Amino acid sequence: MDKVFIEGLEIEALIGIYDWERRIRQPLVFDLEMAFDNRGPAASDAISDTLDYKAVSKRLIEFVSASSFQLVESLAEQCALLVLREFGVEWLRLKLRKPGAVRGARAVGVEIERTRADAEADAAGATI
């Protein structure tokens, strides 16, 4: 399986459960691995045939910047659904880190794996 990845995508967001967190934007760091058959783009050498990681990054920045989730778990789930639905990805692994959230830890967060089938099954309850 081929993968397209984005590492260390930093996005400022309003996230957290405490009152002080609801008043400031905090940095979040995203890593994504997305299953994509790269043989077509390799043969055509055309950006239109690829999973455009710049387009994925821009869409995530737009979504996360406008969001105001309390939990990183909720935000990660919605980001995964967005990528699966809007970019035709069959599978992805998404790691979301919240640097500085716990004293003594570089970062805390979640890592999830989802498939397009998960996104289709969850379509009725999605908030994106």
How many domains would you assign to the chain? 1
- Retrieve residue 35's tokens: 């299953």
Least confident of 10-24, 27-41, 73-87: 10-24
Mean pLDDT of 22-34: 95
Instruction: For the chain, give the percent of residues with pLDDT over 90.
Output: 77
pLDDT at 125: 61
pLDDT at 95: 98
pLDDT at 73: 97
Counting every residue written for the chain, the total comes to 128
**Residues recognised as catalytic:** 98
Sign of CA dihedral 72, 75, 78, 84: negative
**Separation CA 111–CA 77 (nearest Å):** 10
Give the structural domain span for 17.
3-125
Q: Using an 8 Å Cβ cutoff, are 79 and 117 in contact?
A: no
Which residues fall within 8 angstroms of residue 93, CB to CB, at 6 or more apart?
32, 33, 111, 112, 113
**Separation CA 106–CA 99 (nearest Å):** 6
CATH number of the domain bearing residue 25 = 3.30.1130.10
pLDDT at 21: 83
